């Protein structure tokens, strides 16, 4: 499966939500990462054809998805954000209902529903109402729903939103397991959702693609500019105003701050540390000074 997106643009009046966006996707998990308003939903909505594009093309194995129509939609699975609909339905009833909307026969729907309930580990509570489920359980039902038609392209919108850390890890591992032989697009602004499971990360900012690459290659860009800087408590505010600071760790009168910067003065007490994806996010999206945010 190859999904080729070429010069995709979406404008709302004078506002360009997505500007000449081009990427080529093959099987594996892609993290679609960017702050609110970056254009992540727009990308997803254009692939699912929920909104009309202004220009550009999306090719599935070489064919325009708009011409493929139903044949493309059949290949597509979409997990929306939780919205609190269908709270009165049981998990099984909800999945059967979604299966009927997707055009599965009753027999297929029943078989698939049982299979997916098992996969998402909800068989025991399948008869209970969605309204009584925890956030993590609801997310698993929504993922199950997106898999009813065995999609080859799976789009997940903030799949860990509102979950506690344990549930997050569980959902993340689960996504990683089901991602085989599929293109999975996982939109998030939570770096840890994709750090270890994404084949490549697509960074979006203000409607434009910054880059699409493996985590390893992305991190190599900032390999030499992530430091732990030790300052006195009273100096930390000044440091934060000037540089992109991620973590702050207090130790007595001193503070150890994690800083992403290529222009730290020599006299600062600092140690170079290994970059992670959160540092990269800060480098591109942090508000401060010498990150790419000002240069872009």
Stretch that binds ligand ADP, among 12-20, 88-96, 143-151, 226-234 (CB under 6 A): 12-20
Residue of 3, 38, 104, 222 interacting with ligand ADP (CB under 6 A)? 38
Consecutive H or E run containing 178: helix 165-178
Angle between helices 135-146 and 106-119 (to 10 degrees): 140
| Nearest-angstrom CA–CA distance, 222 and 261 | 9
The answer to whether residue 40 forms part of the interface with ligand ADP (CB under 6 A) is yes
CA-nearest of 277, 58, 37 to 153 is 58
- Distance CA(17)–CA(62), nearest Å, equals 25
Provide the minimum distance between the beta carbon of 228 and ligand ADP in the complex, in angstroms, as a whole number: 31
Residue with smaller CB distance to ligand ADP, 40 or 102? 40
Q: Name which of 21 and 72 has its Cβ closer to ligand ADP.
A: 21
Task: List all residues 6 or more positions away from 75 whose beta carbon is below 8 Å from its beta carbon.
Answer: 1, 60, 151, 152, 153
| In the complex, least distance from residue 12 CB atom to ligand ADP, rounded to whole angstroms | 3
Q: Which is nearer to ligand ADP, 11 or 74 (CB)?
A: 11
What residues contact residue 272 under an 8 Å CB cut-off, 6+ apart?
Answer: 224, 226, 227
Is residue 111 near ligand ADP by the rule CB under 6 A?
no
Q: Is 14 in the site for ligand ADP (CB under 6 A)?
A: no
Among 34, 151, 159, 291, binds ligand ADP (CB under 6 A): 34
- Work out which of 5, 23, 42, 148 binds ligand ADP, going by CB under 6 A: 42
**Does 17 engage in binding with ligand ADP (CB under 6 A)?**
yes
Contact 108/99 with Cβ under 8 angstroms?
yes
Between the CA of residue 15 and those of 63, 65, 115, 207, 279, what are the distances in Å? 29, 25, 44, 10, 29
> How many angstroms separate the CA atoms of 123 and 92, rounded?
9
Contact range with ligand ADP by CB under 6 A, out of 36-44, 91-99, 219-227, 241-249: 36-44
Smallest separation, CB 18 to ligand ADP (Å): 7
Q: Assess contact for 246 and 192: CB atoms under 8 A.
A: no
If we measure between CA atoms, which residue out of 48, 47, 46 comes closest to residue 12? 46
CA distance 176 to 162: 19
Residue from 36, 83, 263, 271 touching ligand ADP (CB under 6 A): that is 36
Between residues 21 and 86, which has the closer beta carbon with respect to ligand ADP?
21
Per CB under 6 A, 263 contacts ligand ADP: no
Position 39 contacts ligand ADP (CB under 6 A): yes
Least distance between ligand ADP and beta carbon 36 (Å): 4
Binding site for ligand ADP (CB under 6 A): 12, 15, 17, 34, 36-42
């Amino acid at each position: 499966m190859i999904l080729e997106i070429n010069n995709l643009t979406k404008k709302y009046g004078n506002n360009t939500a997505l500007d000449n966006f081009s990427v080529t996707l093959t099987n594996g998990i892609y993290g679609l990462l960017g702050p609110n308003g970056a254009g992540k939903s727009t990308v997803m909505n254009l692939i699912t054809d929920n909104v009309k594009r202004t220009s550009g093309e999306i090719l599935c194995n070489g064919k325009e998805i708009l011409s493929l129509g139903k044949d493309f939609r059949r290949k597509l699975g979409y997990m929306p954000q939780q919205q609190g609909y269908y709270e009165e339905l049981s998990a099984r009833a909800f999945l059967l209902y979604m299966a009927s909307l997707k055009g599965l026969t009753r027999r297929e729907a029943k078989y698939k529903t049982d299979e997916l309930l098992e996969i998402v580990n909800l068989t025991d509570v399948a008869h209970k109402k969605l309204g009584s489920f925890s956030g993590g359980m609801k997310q698993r039902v929504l993922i199950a729903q997106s898999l009813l038609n065995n999609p080859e392209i799976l789009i997940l919108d903030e799949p860990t939103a509102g979950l506690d850390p344990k549930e997050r890890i569980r959902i993340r591992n689960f996504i990683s397991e089901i991602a085989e032989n599929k293109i999975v697009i996982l939109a998030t602004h939570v770096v840890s959702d994709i750090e270890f499971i994404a084949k490549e990360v697509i960074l979006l900012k203000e409607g434009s693609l910054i880059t699409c690459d493996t985590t390893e290659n992305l991190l190599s860009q900032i390999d030499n500019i992530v430091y732990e800087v030790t300052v006195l408590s009273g100096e930390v505010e000044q440091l934060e105003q000037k540089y992109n600071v991620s973590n702050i760790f207090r130790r007595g009168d001193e503070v150890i701050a994690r800083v992403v910067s290529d222009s730290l003065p020599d006299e600062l007490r600092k140690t170079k540390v290994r970059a992670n994806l959160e540092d990269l996010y800060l480098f591109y999206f942090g508000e401060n000074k010498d990150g790419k945010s000002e240069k872009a």
